Structure 1
Amino acid sequence: MTGTTPTLTGRELETLRHIAAGRTHLQAAHAMGVSRHTVDTYLRRIRAKLGHTSTAELTRIAISLGL
């Protein structure tokens, strides 16, 4: 992440935490009580805000945020 850190919503942070923990999109959806499509939408928003596309990069960010 360069410059200022974009603000992620609570649901985006929750999604990031699930994905960083190794859960599939479907598993994250079940845990969050939403559809897989919703998880995919959250992940698109996260990637757009953070400028990272790979799950490995997102996982590193989640760890740095203490998620």
Structure 2
Amino acid sequence: MAELNTDFSDRERQILAHLADGLTSRTIAHRLALSPHTVETHIRNMRTKAAATTRAHLIALALTHRDPPADPALPAP
């Protein structure tokens, strides 16, 4: 299983979250007040960092390697 590089910028993480929600580059660009070209550049950079061959692969890696949600029943560390 491939490891996900977690060296993503805050903007890359925002874009990745929108990708995981199924949004297109154009819609993401509109929501974040960016050009679609800038969004595509961020996606390409994330794919390179994560060694992901496709957008779907990038999203699968992100979902596989994300931190599990905190259990509210457990005390904070």
Q: TM-score range by the shorter chain?
A: 0.7 to 0.9
Look up the match of 2:72. Answer: none
SS at 2:40 equivalent: helix
Scaled by the length of structure 1, the TM-score of the pair is 0.82
1:1-67 superposed matches below 5 A? 1-2=2-3, 5-64=5-64, 65=66
- State the Cα distance separating 1:6 from its structure 2 match: 4.0
Gap regions ≥5 residues in structure 2: 68-77
Q: Point out which structure has higher relative CO (alpha carbons under 8 A, 6+ apart).
A: 1
State the aligned residue count.
65
RMSD: 1.7
Write 1 or 2 for the structure with the bigger share of helix.
1
Q: Do 2:47 and 2:55's aligned partners in 1 also have CA atoms closer than 8 Å?
A: no
Scaled by the length of structure 2, the TM-score of the pair is 0.73
Q: Do 1:17 and 1:62's aligned partners in 2 also have CA atoms closer than 8 Å?
A: no
SS at 1:40 equivalent: helix
Q: Do 1:20 and 1:59's aligned partners in 2 also have CA atoms closer than 8 Å?
A: yes
Provide runs of 4+ in structure 1 moved above 3 Å.
none
Gap regions ≥5 residues in structure 1: none
- Corresponding letter in the other structure for 1:44: R
